Structure 1
Amino acid sequence: MDGCDRHDVFRLPALSASVADARGRIRERLAEWDADPELCDDASLVVTELFTNAVRHTESEKITCVLRERGAVVRLEVTDQGRGVQEPVPCDAGTEAEGGRGLLLVSVLALAWGSDPAENGTGRVVWAELAAHHAPSA
């Protein structure tokens, strides 16, 4: 690891259709940063879950995504515009439930995750940190 500090920030409409765009942007940027395929897959799943939750559980018009690499950690942040009903917590989805396992998946894939109030006073930042793995140098 070369100790670099890289980041990417983008905003998308708070629509279910934007989830694929967010996932694609994260995969593209990590590939440019020579991340290994496992990290690309894990980060794609994490951003899918966090973005989907922001769409489903808030009244946002736009969602901001931040991808940052610092040392051995890749941090994903998804910021909504607020008006959600509560702070995100993993739920105990029953075996027949079609959803409700997203944050549990995030907690398994991430070194750490959590949420904080957005800096502007409205909305919430939900974040996850993953171990930065890079493809071997040629």
Structure 2
Amino acid sequence: MRGRGPIRRHGGPSREAPVNASHGTWRRDFPGKEISVPVAREWARELLAGRIAAPLLDDVLLLLSEVVTNAITHSDSGRTAGGRVTVRVTCASGDVHVEVTDDGSAVSAPAVRVPEPDEDGGRGLWLVDLLATAWGSHHGEAGGSVWFLVAEC
């Protein structure tokens, strides 16, 4: 994992790009179940391996795992039958933009908190805040999403 300079946080929706694998944008839906976390990570690894540097890939896969886990754990995607999580990955000029969309939640919203050293969880968005070049979230009537950008140095 690499430390970066100042973090730029941006609220609101992420940049949209056409879903077109030939232009480096991919989209896939996953069931709102824990088993989807390693499946999503392996899918992204297959897409990005050889396209970006290994340390950058490690950061992207770690952050993707954390954000998908949060979507399943804290949204209706993991609490309702048939819940879904959608992952969109864009790779352009060595930078990777990931957006994870879930079914939303009436009781929670994404928030960074500093975990206690002995806690088992609570590090997802803290890691995103630490490692991503930029990140943000937005919520609408149809659900919510968290996105992050990991840029080459």
Matches within 5 A, 1:108-123: 108-118=130-140, 121-123=141-143
Please name the residue that 2:74 is paired with: 57
1-structure distance, mates of 2:34, 2:64: 13
2-structure distance, mates of 1:28, 1:94: 34
Instruction: Tell me the secondary structure at the aligned position of residue 41 of structure 1.
Output: helix
Deviation at 1:90, TM superposition (A): 1.1
2-structure distance, mates of 1:21, 1:84: 27
Deviation at 1:132, TM superposition (A): 4.0
1-structure distance, mates of 2:144, 2:44: 20
Give the letter for the 1:114 counterpart.
G
Moved over 4 A (4+): none
CA RMSD of aligned residues (A): 1.8
Deviation at 1:122, TM superposition (A): 1.4
Runs (5+) with no aligned partner, structure 2: 1-21, 78-82
Please name the residue that 2:95 is paired with: 73
Give the letter for the 1:102 counterpart.
G
Matches within 5 A, 1:1-138: 5-31=23-49, 34-60=51-77, 61-118=83-140, 121-132=141-152
When structure 1 is superposed on structure 2, of 15-24 and 77-86 the one drifting more is 77-86
Deviation at 1:58, TM superposition (A): 0.7
Please tell me whether the aligned partners of residues 104 and 139 of structure 2 are also in contact (alpha carbons under 8 angstroms): no
Please tell me whether the aligned partners of residues 102 and 144 of structure 2 are also in contact (alpha carbons under 8 angstroms): yes
Identical columns (%): 35
Please name the residue that 2:6 is paired with: none
Encode CA deviations 1:88-128: one digit per residue, 9 max, x unaligned.
0111221211110111111111001110125xx31111000
When structure 1 is superposed on structure 2, of 69-78 and 45-54 the one drifting more is 69-78
2-structure distance, mates of 1:52, 1:102: 8
2-structure distance, mates of 1:76, 1:91: 21
* Count of matched residue pairs: 127
Give the TM-score, by structure 2 length: 0.76
Runs (5+) with no aligned partner, structure 1: 134-138
Please tell me whether the aligned partners of residues 5 and 71 of structure 1 are also in contact (alpha carbons under 8 angstroms): no
